[in-house]
Every structure is written in C-alpha cells, then in structure tokens.
Structure 1
C-alpha cells in the first residue's frame, strides 16, 4: 500500500501544480452591463445552483431581483425570482464585487433549474427594465453529483443505500452499516482497477484509523487533497489483510460540481 500512496501523492502534486485556477463550475458568461453598474461572471455549479463572481450593482432601483425565464428569448417579466445569497426574495440592495451562490427555487410544480431557462437577469419588475443579463446556452454542460449503487457485503456485514460524489471535495455514503469484524478496514478511493488499495479516505471525523461499527449512518467524507482533481473510478471499503470488502464504481468522465466550501 505504501507504493500506491507514493504514486498517488506524486499524481496529486502534478494535478495541483498544473493549474492554479479555482474551479467554479461551467462558465455561462458575463452579465451585460446595461444599467445601475451591474457586472459579474456567472457559472453553473450544478443544474439548480449558480455562482456569481465579482457581482456589483448600485442598489438604487426600487424593485430589482435576480430573475430568470424561458418564455421569451430576452429578459422580460415572464420569469421567476431567484432568491438571493441568503435564500430570500427581497428587493436587492447594493453589492460591490461580491461572490454569491444562488439556488433556484422550488415551486408547487417542481424544482426550477438551468434546464428551464434561457437567461438570468438583474430585473426591475416595477418598470420592466433589464439592468444586465447573461444568456444560458441550450447545450451548456452542467456539472452534476454522481450517485452509485450502495456498498454490499455479507462477510463482513457491510451495507449502504448509495454512495455519491457530491462535488470535487466530498463523498456522501448514505445509510452506512458495518459490523466491525474486520479490524483493519478503511475507506479507499482511486482510479483504475477497484481491486487496488487506492488512496485512503478519512472517516467523517477526519480520522485515518480503521473503521469502527456503524449502524445506518450517513457519512460525509472528504476526498483526500492529494488526489483532488483526478478521475475517480471507485470507492470502497478495503482491508490490508483481506483486500477489497465492497466497492462501487463511477464514470470518471462525469463533470463534477466545484467545492462549495471553496466558493463561500
């Protein structure tokens, strides 16, 4: 396992050193600056969440909101409000070079998403004026969390309902149970063959100690820093003495969401 760790550490260093840019998701475009000094770069974090970098707006309009729609090719009143960074649908105040995470709202008809809109605007409803907008391409590649089937093993007793790569930094293992009868079992992830030991994933407390007993607990696990940015093909529970106890596989070519922690 030591040799695998050395190889993965070298690959991780190369991956980190090859780019210094913060990954923000898929770039949609820049807000056009039409009125009230609106500027900002807009990215898709996933299909229901956008990141607005360097957003500015003078806050002087009486009824302005983040607004989106698809019933007209250009911004109009035929759309819906996107809640602000606090999740509120209040009139926008002034912003100066702010970075914002905005989530599309749920309605009685379902979840609004980027798949439903042609544009995102800073829009004044009272006077029907577009202060600045960005067009959403119909072929935009949207990052998405990747969910796999659950872990499963009868000897030892090991189960989970699913495993998800939530973003480039985070795994979520849902309803995880483990009887603890393999004393050197650990979480691992890697690329290539799932029979390999891969790189150890710390547990939900950040510990690299062997796994204890679990009973239907949902775990949020960090992807090791040295392998962030690499293609992830499998996640599993591995034992140095018994090998891979259970694993799931992922499509390594899926575009994952950026780290929410790094954007906030």
Structure 2
C-alpha cells in the first residue's frame, strides 16, 4: 500500500506540477515546404545534424517522386542526393496525409550543408514541393545535439556507469551500469537544488517504467525516459539516491538550459513506432491464427465437418486447375519458343565479376559482381545472422573501418542483417557514390567495430573495369498509323523500354520483331512478345511506357535491329538499330529487384488469403 500511495502521489505531482508542454518540441524550425504540385506541403525541422523532421507532411502519391536534397545553391535539380524515406527505403513515395516523419541524411552530409530540400520527380525532372535556403542560412542556426554528462562514479555498492548521455530532451542513456543490488530503497532522482537530496526533487522511473527500487545491474545499458510534462533541461543533476540513508550514491551534473539544446523526443518516438510496426503486424496475425484454431476445435458436428470439407474441396480444385492451366501454357511456350530458339545461355550472366568475399567470422562468403555503376550483386551470399552487422562500403584506401557508408540491404532496409543461405541479392549504392570509387566492401559490426567478411580493392582496380550500362537507341519515327516512340532504351541484356509509345491500333498483323539481317524482314528473324508476354497483334497505345522482355535463351546482343513489323504488308512500320558493341546490365539483377519488391506484397497476399479462408 505504501508503494502504491507513493506512485499515486508522484502521478499527482506530474499532473499538477510543471506546465512545460514539450510534446510540441520538434527541434529547430527551418520553414515550410512550398507546394508546387501533387498537394505537397509540410513544416520542416532539424532533429539533429543528420536528421530532418517533416511535420504534417502531405503528398497525394499520384506520381513517382522521392525526397532529394542539394548542396549546391540554386533551384532543385537532378544533381541532388536522393535520401531514404522514413522507413529507410529508396522507393517512390506513397500517399501521406498530415504525417509526421523523420528523414536521415547519409553520413557524408550535414543538414547545415543543405541548399535545398525537394519532393523530386526523376521522370519529369521537376520539383513537386521544395524549400530553398539562401546565403548559408542553415549554418547560423543552433542545431540540436546529444550531450555527454561523463561517467558516473559511485560511492558504494559497486555503483558505476561508463557514460551518461542525454539523447533527447526526455531520454537519458546509462551506459554499462554496474550495481550490486543490495542498497536499501535505491531510486533514480533528478532535481534543481544545489545539494543533491530527494526533498523537493523528482523521482524518475527506471527503464521498465517502474518506480520500484532499482534492481541489480551487471554492465547493462539502460534508457530512462521522463514523463510527457518534463524535460532534462528542467534539472541540474541526476542521481542514484538511497532514501533509507538519505544519501546520493552516485550522480552526474546537468548543464544549464542555456548550454543544452537536445534533439526532440518526438523524433525518437516516430522512429520507435516504425521499428515496432512489423512486430505489431505479426502479433495481429498470430492472434487471428489462435482465434481460428480455437473456433475450429469447437466444431464437432457432422454438418459442420461436411461444410468445411466441401469448402476445402472447392477451394483446392479451383486452385489446382488454375495452376495446371498456367503450367501447361508455360510448357507450350518453352517447347515452341525456347527450344526452337537460340542456344545462348545468358541465365548465368551477373555483370562484371570483381571477386570473392573473404569470410572472417559468422560463415560469411559470396561472389561479388557489378551490375551497373551504382549496383552490386552478391551471388550465393551466406551469413549466419547470429551477430548485428550491416553492409558497409569505404572510399578511403585501407582496411574496413567505422568511417564507411552503411548500405541498405536487398529490401532497402537499414536494419541488421538476417540469416542468408546461398542467396543472390542486389545492393544499391547511394546516388552520390559510384562503384568505381570504392576501396572496400564489408559486412561490418558497429558494436564490435570489426569486419565479419570483406573484399579490398587496391590501386584503383575498379576504375579499369568495364561497367555494364543501359543503352539508349534513340526514338522511333513510324511511317504510318501514327507510330512513334519518344525513346527506346536497352535496360538489361533481356529488357527493352519503350517510352511514350503511340499507335492507332489499326495496322493489320502488327508485331514486334528483332533480327540480324541487313534488311528488316520477318523471314528468318524472331518475333518478340509484348509487355504482357503475348505474341498476339499489338494493341492501340496512347503515350504509354512498355517494358519488353526477351525469352530466357535470348539477349539483345543477339540482334542488330528492333522493329514494329506488319506481316500483312510485309513492311517495317518503325524501327531502331542495335549497336554491336554492347555491355548491358544483367537481367538477373532486375529479376532479383522485382522479387524483393514483390516480397512484401506476397506476404500481405498470403496473410489476406489465410484470413479469408479462415472466415469462410
């Protein structure tokens, strides 16, 4: 009862006490986004030297756009750096309605270097919303920063902490706390008085949110969070205080509020919400599974059993026949197209081989290839997942170290690496780096400050390599039926991109063809499937973009031209020439990217399918 009464009294103090409203603290305000298109607006704040906060951000999500920042004065342009969204992904932005988000700059940049921030379209090469900083405006601003309070040296009971750090205006990190757990009535206290005493001071709950006596600690790190109405700027000291003997057993001094300008707790809270979202989704799924299992166990009657059996049989046979029909189409396509076609085996093409990962720990190994100037492929990658590690790259010669750049994983996440067993993955460099700048690549531990596996590039070896690159073939200007294409681009050795394709749909028997002959003709050459994988006549197109993919046994290096060919009148209605000297990015990289992008959707589809089946 006494403990409960103490907690109630403390709660009363919090509610009736200080009136500081720090829930509205977001850092240093720097201005409003000027909305130019797609309903973009929001208020911008600096969270710390490497993070931005956009409060009440809005974007209608109806165009492909990204967050871009620039370090060169002037209007936003395509020379800026793309930064990851609030989830750490570099994908096109979704729809936002009054969302508060935190954006992290790459380590190479500081917010004070910025000249502009924009919601940028890489397709239209225009800004949908922006803020421009003139005359080094950001360099004169006060930037929130964490504050080390130094070590905590205890007076008894083995109390010590390696370092106490104020991380935000409400969070304090105690690093490597040691305490033997035997002091009577030991609590955290914070106060303003010259002398450290519990009288008139504030009891602070522990890392679990408890106001009970402190438990034994053996070199652990703890995060202490103040209630909503308090900040560390309200206090001058923090203590491990023994009520029984009214004595401070270990403490640190907190500088005056004039000397403190801490990062906002709101930014930390937003990050924590994002980290917890996947777990919350899993919890919902598991709850529904348990509910389903409970309800199924209650079914006992023959009628209920028959009902379930009939539903299952209908569902099974529907899926079975759809699967068989799809498989039959695939077999026929293979027999009539692939077997009769070319014999070139391009499925093993991964780009430019640059070496093997040297495994140092945690079963690391894999073969590394360059897919294009900003993309790496690791083939047959292995990592046991038993230690916190990340993909890191460095641009300074020597061995891997903590001054490299962390890369997102194959799903564009910056979280610690999971377990991998002989997996093929694609990694993208940030836009300000090129693969030819790299001096090393490592699986790096930021805790142990060591490499678990690495490859080191000496003497600018990467600069001498031939790097795969996309190839523009120029426009197609048709001779009839309004046929035109703004640009034809070879994206990989098997994919071709038609931009702004126009065709009135009236030509009889119009197909895509590719060939090697000097004269463009269908005889002895190859019909190419359309963007749907169909070999039927081409349909009407009104400035549409199409991606054409060759069958697995062919590459665009096998051909000298690509044509929209009319079989009825045996005439080329529009075509482009394909050069002989080509070194295109691997289709395997594109396929792996698509697999990663589809993974989340497949997980969601699987979840929804199971829930629907449970609900029948």
Q: What band does the TM-score fall into relative to the shorter chain?
A: 0.7 to 0.9
Query: Measured at CA, do residues 73 and 226 of structure 1 come closer, stay the same or move farther in structure 2, by a change above 3 Å?
Result: same
Q: When you count strand as a share of all residues, which structure comes out higher? A: 1
Aligned mates of 1:216, 1:7 — CA distance in 2: 29
Q: Which residue of 1 aligns with 2:211?
A: 208
Aligned mates of 2:32, 2:250 — CA distance in 1: 45
Query: Measured at CA, do residues 180 and 194 of structure 1 come closer, stay the same or move farther in structure 2, by a change above 3 Å?
Result: farther
Work out which of the two has the higher radius of gyration on C-alpha atoms and give 1 or 2: 2
How much does 1:93 deviate?
2.9
Q: Is residue 126 of structure 1 aligned with residue 130 of structure 2?
A: no
Q: Is residue 246 of structure 1 aligned with residue 250 of structure 2?
A: yes
Aligned mates of 2:191, 2:15 — CA distance in 1: 12
Within 5 Å, which residues of 2 pair with 1:219-230?
219-225=222-228, 227-228=230-231
How much does 1:74 deviate?
2.9
Residue ranges of structure 1 left out of the alignment (5+ in a row): 1-5
Q: Which residue of 2 aligns with 1:165?
A: 166
Query: Measured at CA, do residues 98 and 148 of structure 1 come closer, stay the same or move farther in structure 2, by a change above 3 Å?
Result: same
What count of residue pairs does the alignment treat as equivalent? Answer: 255
Deviations 1:191-211 (A, max 9, x none): 242523221111112221222
How much does 1:152 deviate?
0.9
TM-score by length of 1: 0.84
Which of residues 113, 116, 121 is equivalent to 1:116? 113
Query: Measured at CA, do residues 262 and 22 of structure 1 come closer, stay the same or move farther in structure 2, by a change above 3 Å?
Result: farther
Which of residues 258, 261, 264 is equivalent to 2:264? 258
Deviations 1:46-74 (A, max 9, x none): 22222212222233333x21111212243
Aligned mates of 1:243, 1:185 — CA distance in 2: 10
Q: When you count helix as a share of all residues, which structure comes out higher? A: 2
Query: Measured at CA, do residues 165 and 194 of structure 1 come closer, stay the same or move farther in structure 2, by a change above 3 Å?
Result: farther
How much does 1:100 deviate?
1.6
1:174 counterpart SS class: strand
Aligned mates of 2:22, 2:191 — CA distance in 1: 23
TM-score by length of 2: 0.38
Aligned mates of 2:89, 2:36 — CA distance in 1: 24
Aligned mates of 1:81, 1:238 — CA distance in 2: 49
Preserved contact between residue 15 and residue 229 of structure 1 (Cα < 8 Å): no
2:18 counterpart SS class: helix
Q: Which residue of 2 aligns with 1:217?
A: 220
Aligned mates of 1:217, 1:232 — CA distance in 2: 24
How much does 1:244 deviate?
1.0
Query: Measured at CA, do residues 206 and 14 of structure 1 come closer, stay the same or move farther in structure 2, by a change above 3 Å?
Result: closer
Q: Which has the higher contact order (CA 8 A, sep 6+)?
A: 1
Deviations 1:16-73 (A, max 9, x none): 3x659722222111101122221111112222222212222233333x2111121224
Q: CA RMSD in A?
A: 2.8
Q: Which residue of 1 aligns with 2:147?
A: 146
Residue ranges of structure 2 left out of the alignment (5+ in a row): 1-8, 274-616
Q: Which residue of 1 aligns with 2:53?
A: 51
1:227 counterpart SS class: coil
